[in-house]
Structure 1
């Protein structure tokens, strides 16, 4: 740990100084006419990562600096009934990847500079009323609170990635192509956020004596969320930093007939794919200005009789406590996360993460650090990560 502390001290100090200037605006907006506007924004997340026993010979702490996310966000309104959003990404650029020789022996690492910029979100929304909207395009699947949260506003360092087990060929970074109906219905106490859509899902693939999704069935994905106090937006947030009072209870379903397979390249078994989830999210400012945050979710994935490794159950939980008192140029929030996936095939994967966020200017400028205690994927390696974020 002493060597790790020395190796991370200088990079951490450099990153802190690099983002100490507060951005002037989070979004650049332009007025086209009385009804139309467009806006553009940039998300940049830079990371330093240290992996225990990660060097080529299996000893020491291996360091890795890379770009976790570099996104251009672009959107606007045509009029009060129509808006749109497009987002690019270039994730994990420069992240170390393993190198093998001609005999497939592991010989070292190199920075992955072959990543490409791609369209990650692209949708048009027709807003007939607050209670009834239609969204078409490449859309973040409306399933769990975890996977429907925007990357710009996460509580911890990243998503609970281990618990997302959609069929491998059914999504692109948790997005799918289709049409979704959504709305917010006011209730005597609180509101109901509903979202349900038809998507491409798993496409037809012929295998050995079977065909995955031979009838080109739609994927049906939907979510209901009851908000006791304030409601959330199109993209959920991992925390609202005291700007909203959130107490919500959600449930989601994901289904496609003949969408499960033992192998999505050369299938020999096919069955229906089914998944469901329940979750709770609390992010509630106290009278003294502090903000406790807590989220928990459970997911059940059913791949029928195919024996696919993604068949199983998952649980995730995360909590934070934002202190309202200013500490230097920002505010401190200790954070803890836990995620676990229990596969029906007998392979378990879990992790405990102890972290802290330093909110310099909310989501527009912040520093995060996290120590992962690896507890179940067979690697037996701890990982320490620091990240700087700019949202401008």
Structure 2
């Protein structure tokens, strides 16, 4: 999307959910091997669990928002499916793979701007896949691919990205260092390539 920049916060105004409609959300997940406890999942168990899971989720709100020039409110709908695999293949070696697809229509929770006007996303389709291999419980090379297509204000835009990195686990999730290089891919709507290097250090005492 060449002329639109993403806004990292919702843009609320008087026509968002003017009828005070409730928002419904839910998720179903099936684990074929070990269970995952808690509300938030680890995403990387470092060999302590064997996870094979399939999940799906739905988010819906009737009459979520209406534009200033429209008398009919639009329903917001989002759904997703995902798969996750995290399994020890040898002593202290773990293969981790995951992927997901997300489909969103008429969301008032994300917006884009052209510098003058702000628009809610009318449609968004996104998918990603990533994987990593933990070696001797310490080093973990990782790779990721990400693709997103949006429609807003009658304009389509695409963003795709590849990334690779290396994680060093000093003491599991309590102490580690992660380095990643991400490269935005060029497509028919973008004539630039963003490049980013991220370094993270995490310590829990």
TM-score normalised by length of structure 2: 0.79
Asked whether the 8 Å contact 2:34–2:51 carries over to 1, the reply is yes
- Structure 2's unaligned 5+ residue stretches are 1-5, 108-118
Q: What CA distance in whole angstroms lies between the structure 2 residues aligned with 1:351 and 1:289?
A: 30
5 Å matches for 1:209-228?
211-228=15-32
8 Å CA contact retained: 2:18, 2:65: no
Aligned residue in 2 for 1:328: none
RMSD of the TM alignment (CA)?
2.5
Q: Quick check: 1:350–1:374 contact (8 Å CA) kept in 2?
A: yes
Which residue in 2 is equivalent to 1:248?
A: 53
So what's the TM-score if we normalise by structure 1? 0.43
DSSP 3-state at the match of 1:308: strand
* 1:387 equivalent in structure 2: 200
1:315 alignment partner, SS class: strand
Q: How many correspondences in the alignment?
A: 180
How many Å apart are 1:168 and its aligned residue? 2.2
Aligned in 2, Cα 1:231/1:167: closer, same or farther, shift over 3 Å? farther
1:174-323 equivalences in 2 (<5 Å):
205-206=13-14, 211-233=15-37, 234-261=39-66, 267-269=68-70, 270-303=73-106, 308-309=120-121, 311-323=123-135
Query: Which residue of the partner structure matches residue 160 of structure 2?
Result: 350
Q: What's the offset of the Cα at 1:391?
A: 2.1
CA distance in 2, matches of 1:375, 1:278: 24
Q: What is the 5 A alignment of 1:349-368?
A: 349-368=159-178
By how many angstroms is 1:226 displaced? 0.2
CA contact (8 A) 1:313 1:341 kept: yes
Cα–Cα, structure 1 residues 383 and 166, in superposed 2: closer, same or farther, change >3 Å?
A: closer
Identify, as 1 or 2, the structure richer in helix.
1
Structure 1 window deviating more from structure 2 (283-292 vs 293-302): it is 283-292
Q: 1:370 aligns with which of 180, 184, 192?
A: 180
